[in-house]
Amino acid sequence: MLPDTDDAAIQADAYIDALLTGHRRVPVSLPASAPTSGHSGVRNAIRLLEKGLPRFHPSFLFEEWLADQLRRRAEVSPADEDHAPARIVPFAVIRHSATPAGRLADKRLIVGGAIASGVSIAGAAMIAWRWSRN
């Protein structure tokens, strides 16, 4: 069983919920365990606060001023990288050498690359052939 304080707190909480829900014009029935005569002081306090504490709204001028401040701040705020949409990164443009020496170096690079690829393929074929004979 719950201690008396907890029990009373739960009842008061349910009572507040019921009143606040009623405040939004939704039909509700108060819980049977709502604070009764023994807790009438708490019940009166709940009713006073529920009716007596109003909601205020900031002035229209202030609300628009702050909205403008936030818009300006948002313009310069970086988006969260984890949540930002993916960006397309263009491939780097390959610039061909303009001078004859540069063009020769490019050709050497291409020829060297082709020879290296050929040797690699031949090596792989050799290894495969030897494994197949064992």
Return residues touching another protein (CB under 8 A). Answer: 5-6, 8-10, 12-13, 16, 20, 41-42, 44-46, 48-59, 62-63, 66-67, 69-71, 73-75, 77, 79-80, 82-85
Measured CA to CA in angstroms, residue 36 lies from 29, 33, 40, 82, 91 at distances of 15, 8, 6, 54, 76
State in angstroms the smallest separation of the CB of 23 from another protein.
8
**Measured from the CB atom, is 65 or 122 closer to another protein?**
65
State in angstroms the smallest separation of the CB of 45 from another protein.
4
**Measured from the CB atom, is 76 or 93 closer to another protein?**
76
State in angstroms the smallest separation of the CB of 7 from another protein.
10
CA distance 107 to 2: 88
Query: What dihedral angle (degrees, nearest 10) is formed by the CA atoms of 11, 14, 15, 17?
Result: 160
**Measured from the CB atom, is 44 or 117 closer to another protein?**
44
Say which residue the tokens 């719950």 belong to. 2
**Measured from the CB atom, is 41 or 90 closer to another protein?**
41
Residues 6 or more apart whose Cβ sits within 8 Å of residue 102: 96
